[in-house]
């Protein structure tokens, strides 16, 4: 069916003796793609806490979810995500359970 | 006795407060109503230890005088507060509340109604209610509006979060299905990879998993145990289907599922070859950006009198000979020829062979294809078959001696250049260090010299002083 049969069918190309098991290359944390969503989540979280802005905290939670969904290196990313999550939740708690804003 | 004492004190204070009110009135005649109250309020606070009943009258008489602001009464305050002490407040209070109804201010009467006799307040509040209710009704609507608005935010965000979570699971499943469909088509029993490699999968043993999942979008497939090469690593990079935000983003900026094969060739099995095929635009970019292509290879013009690759493709190669030998009749017929490429070309991205690949393994074959969807995996069979075909072709390929000497020279030259660059970099670093040290020394010297100048000046001064001193002594001695 395919052209490789011409060359491959001459003899079996397989060489079990030459087989090397798969070795996972350790990826250094620097080589991983930058976790933009985590960064955005932190920024939104801090903004939400600072300015008592609900939408910002909610956005932080959404970006936290994105960051969690895209997480590759568990122990490395979890720090940033947990921080962002903390800020986001703190912002929401102060927003909904905290003292009413004097402005509104 | 006690009462008399407090009375006189009260008298005194009353005079004082009247004086203060008078002062404030003379300052702000227009807003007399408020000013008068304020001043007396302060006084009332001051006199807290005193009897309240006797302190009350002044403010009330004051408020009485306000509706009919008469400077005369202000200038001649009543010296006997007694008659207006206990009984008049009621009628007095009522008066202002009714007459100056428009000027009613809640803050003004704060504290006062508490001390008023019980029958009084109802009337006052009755009068006040229409005015009082107004601010309430006006303040209520914005409150409800705010809560409504905030609810929309919460509803939208909550819904998005739920959609995100649902999409996460469905998208994850979709990606996994796609990867599994690929593996089922090309890596199971009787498939292309099974026929060509003795070891399939990323684990060890017989039934090792075929695919390695890295993150939610990257799947890896490993195969090994074939002549001419050490191993093959296929990396599938799929769309971020699990991520709703990138999914929405991809609606604007579309992207494709891709699979790239890296074949690690044996050292002795690959001659000096630098060769690439890609679509025209991408080829130009590759020629500029990929280091080994940039250094060793150039775009190859279509040779006349020979069947060549399709119009949309361009070939980058170190020499025409290599290009001619690697683009065989079979390949042209199967995939790269005009007719075949029209049919299958949509899945081809690029192909790049190099013996000077930057990185740990130098001799590599790289293939990059687009992945069709799970139901049409058979579409890319020809492209996948290209991989073992080229492994064999490159493994058997030997350059002619003429071309070999050329490529050898190029590699020696490149190595020399690299060595020179390294040397240059080293030298530059050394020079930088030297310059830094020199700068440091100079700075230190400058500091030292400044200090030296200061010392010298001090010495000079001392010397001058000394010069002057003996004379002094001399004069003293006289």
Residue-wise pLDDT for B59-83, tens only, equals 444 444 444 444 444 444 444 544 4
Instruction: Establish if A96 touches chain B: CB-CB under 8 angstroms.
Output: no
* Helical segments of B243-335, H only: 244-252, 280-289, 291-296, 320-326, 329-331
> Do β-strands B364-370 and B199-200 pair in parallel, antiparallel, or remain unpaired?
unpaired
- How confident is residue B473, by pLDDT bands cut at 50, 70 and 90? low
Phi then psi for A56, rounded to 5 degrees? Answer: -60, -45
Residues 21-40 of A with CB under 8 A from B: 21-22, 24, 37
B213 and B337 together in one domain: yes
Average pLDDT, 10 consecutive residues per value, chain A (104 residues): 46 81 75 81 91 89 90 75 89 82 54
Model pLDDT, residue B251: 93
- CA B461/CA B478 separation, integer angstroms: 26
B237 and B334 together in one domain: yes
pLDDT at B308 over 60: yes
- Per the model's pLDDT, the better-predicted residue between B462 and B90 turns out to be B462
Task: Report CA Rg, chain B.
Answer: 49
Beta partners for B279?
B313
Over residues B134-147, the mean pLDDT reads: 49
Question: Pick from B153, B331, B381: which is nearest to A55 by CB?
Answer: B153
- CA B365/CA B282 separation, integer angstroms: 18
Give whichever of A15-19, B96-100, B144-148, B256-260 has the largest mean pLDDT: B256-260
The secondary structure of A50-73 as a DSSP string is HHT-HHHHHHHHHHHHHHHHT--S
Q: Please list every residue in chain A whose beta carbon sits closer than 8 Å to the beta carbon of residue B216.
A: 69-70
Cβ <8 Å between A18 and B150? no
Percent of chain B with pLDDT over 90: 26
Cβ <8 Å between A65 and B388? no
Task: Count the domains in chain B.
Answer: 2
- How confident is residue B162, by pLDDT bands cut at 50, 70 and 90? very high
Contact between B245 and A68 under an 8 Å Cβ cutoff? The reply is no
Kindly identify which residue of chain B lies nearest to residue A69, measuring between CA atoms.
Answer: B243
Model pLDDT, residue B137: 45
Structure tokens at B319: 């020499």
Instruction: Establish if A6 touches chain B: CB-CB under 8 angstroms.
Output: yes
pLDDT at B5 over 70: no
Q: Which sequence spans correspond to the domains of chain A? A: 34-99
Kindly identify which residue of chain A lies nearest to residue B203, measuring between CA atoms.
Answer: A22
Task: Report CA Rg, chain A.
Answer: 25
DSSP-derived 3-state class of residue B66: coil
CB-based burial, B358-382: b 16+ in 10 Å, e otherwise: eeeeebbbbbbbebbebeebebbbb
- Helix (H) / strand (E) element for B378: namely none
| C-alpha B71: how far from chain center | 68
B225 and B321 together in one domain: yes
Contact between B347 and B372 under an 8 Å Cβ cutoff? The reply is yes
pLDDT at B446 over 70: yes
Kindly identify which residue of chain B lies nearest to residue A63, measuring between CA atoms.
Answer: B245
Interface test with A, best of B225, B227, B391 (most A CBs within 10 A): B225
Of A53-62, B94-103, B246-255, B347-356, least confident by mean pLDDT is B94-103
Burial of B45 (0-12, 13-18, 19+ CB in 10 A): exposed
Interface test with B, best of A6, A7, A13 (most B CBs within 10 A): A13
- How confident is residue B145, by pLDDT bands cut at 50, 70 and 90? low
- CA A85/CA A77 separation, integer angstroms: 12
Interface predicted TM-score (ipTM) of this complex, two decimals: 0.81
Q: Please list every residue in chain B whose beta carbon sits closer than 8 Å to the beta carbon of residue A69.
A: 164, 168, 216, 242-243
Structure tokens at B165: 């979570």
Structure tokens at A69: 């969904």
CA torsion sign for B6, B10, B12, B16 is positive
Beta partners for B199?
B224
Domain hosting residue B83, numbered range: 2-117
Cβ <8 Å between A22 and B212? yes
pLDDT at B96 over 60: no
Model pLDDT, residue B293: 87
Structure tokens at B186: 């090309």
Model pLDDT, residue A36: 85
Model pLDDT, residue B216: 85
Residue that terminates a domain, selected from B381, B399, B417: B399
Is residue B313 domain-resident?
yes
B248 and B329 together in one domain: yes
B215 and B353 together in one domain: yes
Token look-up 């990257």 returns: B218
B56 and B173 together in one domain: no
The secondary structure of B380-415 as a DSSP string is GHHHHHHHHHHHHHHHH----HHHHHHHHHHHHHHH
Of B206-210, B329-333, B391-395, B425-429, least confident by mean pLDDT is B206-210
Is residue B86 domain-resident?
yes
Which candidate, B238, B268, B93, places its Cα nearest to that of B172? B238
Cβ <8 Å between B157 and A17? no
Kindly identify which residue of chain B lies nearest to residue A21, measuring between CA atoms.
Answer: B204
| C-alpha A20: how far from chain center | 32
DSSP for residue A14 = B
Q: What is the mean pLDDT of chain B?
A: 75
- Per the model's pLDDT, the better-predicted residue between B434 and B26 turns out to be B434
Model pLDDT, residue B312: 87
Contact between B259 and B178 under an 8 Å Cβ cutoff? The reply is no
- CA A92/CA A94 separation, integer angstroms: 6
B109 and B183 together in one domain: no
- CA B36/CA B44 separation, integer angstroms: 12
Contact between B14 and B88 under an 8 Å Cβ cutoff? The reply is no
Model pLDDT, residue B11: 62
Burial of A15 (0-12, 13-18, 19+ CB in 10 A): middle
B57 and B173 together in one domain: no
Length of chain B: 478
Model pLDDT, residue A80: 82
Which candidate, B66, B123, B132, B70, places its Cα nearest to that of B104? B132
B77 and B198 together in one domain: no
Q: What is the pTM of this model?
A: 0.63
C-alpha angle B48/B51/B57, rounded to 5°?
95
Structure tokens at B51: 């009897």
Over residues B385-397, the mean pLDDT reads: 90
Interface test with A, best of B139, B163, B243, B387 (most A CBs within 10 A): B243
Q: What is the number of other CB atoms lying within 10 angstroms of the CB of residue B184?
A: 13
């Amino acid at each position: 069916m395919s052209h490789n049969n011409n060359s491959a069918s001459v003899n079996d190309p397989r060489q079990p003796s030459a087989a090397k098991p798969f070795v996972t290359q350790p990826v250094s944390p620097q080589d991983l793609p930058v976790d933009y969503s985590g960064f955005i989540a932190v920024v939104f979280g801090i903004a939400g806490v600072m300015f008592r802005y609900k939408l910002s905290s909610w956005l932080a939670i959404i970006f936290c979810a994105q960051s969690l969904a895209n997480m590759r290196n568990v122990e490395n990313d979890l720090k940033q995500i947990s921080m962002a999550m903390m800020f986001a939740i703190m912002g929401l708690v102060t927003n909904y359970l905290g003292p009413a804003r004097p402005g509104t | 006795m006690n009462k008399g004492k407090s009375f006189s004190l009260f008298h005194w204070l009353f005079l004082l407060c009247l004086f203060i009110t008078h002062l404030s009135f003379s300052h702000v005649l227009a807003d007399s109503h408020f000013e008068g109250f304020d001043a007396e309020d302060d006084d009332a606070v001051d006199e807290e230890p005193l009897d309240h009943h006797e302190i009350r009258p002044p403010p009330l008489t004051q408020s009485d005088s306000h509706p009919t602001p008469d400077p005369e009464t202000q200038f001649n305050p009543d010296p006997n507060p007694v008659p207006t002490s206990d009984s008049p407040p009621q009628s007095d209070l009522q008066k202002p509340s009714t007459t100056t109804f428009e000027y009613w201010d809640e803050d003004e009467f704060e504290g006062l109604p508490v001390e008023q006799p019980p029958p009084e307040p109802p009337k006052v509040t009755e009068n006040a209610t229409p005015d009082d209710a107004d601010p309430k009704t006006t303040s209520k609507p914005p409150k409800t509006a705010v809560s409504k608005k905030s609810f929309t935010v919460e509803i939208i965000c909550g819904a998005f979060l739920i959609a995100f979570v649902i999409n996460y699971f469905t998208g994850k499943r979709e990606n996994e299905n796609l990867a599994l469909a690929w593996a089922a088509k090309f890596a199971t029993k009787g498939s292309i990879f099974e026929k060509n490699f003795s070891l399939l999968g990323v684990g060890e043993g017989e039934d090792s998993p075929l695919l390695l999942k890295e993150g939610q979008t990257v799947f890896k497939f490993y195969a090994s145990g074939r002549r001419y090469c050490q191993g093959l690593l296929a990396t599938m990079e799929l769309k971020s289907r699990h991520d709703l935000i990138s999914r929405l983003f991809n609606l604007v900026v579309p992207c494709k599922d891709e699979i790239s094969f890296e074949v690690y060739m044996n050292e002795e099995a690959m001659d000096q070859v630098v060769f690439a095929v890609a679509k025209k635009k991408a080829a130009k970019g590759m020629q500029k950006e990929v280091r080994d292509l940039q250094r060793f290879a150039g775009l190859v013009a279509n040779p006349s009198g020979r069947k060549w690759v399709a119009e949309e493709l361009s070939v980058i190669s170190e020499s025409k000979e290599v290009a001619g030998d690697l683009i065989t009749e079979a390949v042209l017929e199967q995939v790269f020829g005009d007719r075949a490429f029209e049919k299958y070309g949509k899945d081809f991205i690029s192909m790049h062979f190099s013996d000077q690949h930057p990185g740990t393994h130098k001799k590599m074959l790289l293939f990059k294809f687009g992945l069709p969807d799970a139901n049409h995996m058979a579409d890319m069979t020809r492209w996948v078959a290209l991989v073992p075909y080229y492994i064999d072709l490159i493994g058997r390929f030997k350059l002619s001696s003429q071309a070999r000497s050329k490529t050898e020279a190029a590699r020696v030259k490149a190595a020399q250049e690299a060595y020179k660059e390294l040397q240059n970099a080293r030298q530059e670093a050394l020079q930088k260090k030297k310059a830094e040290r020199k700068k440091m020394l100079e700075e230190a010297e400058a500091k030292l010299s400044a200090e030296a100048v200061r010392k010298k000046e001090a010495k000079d001064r001392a010397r001058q002083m000394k010069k002057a001193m003996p004379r002094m002594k001399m004069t003293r001695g006289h």
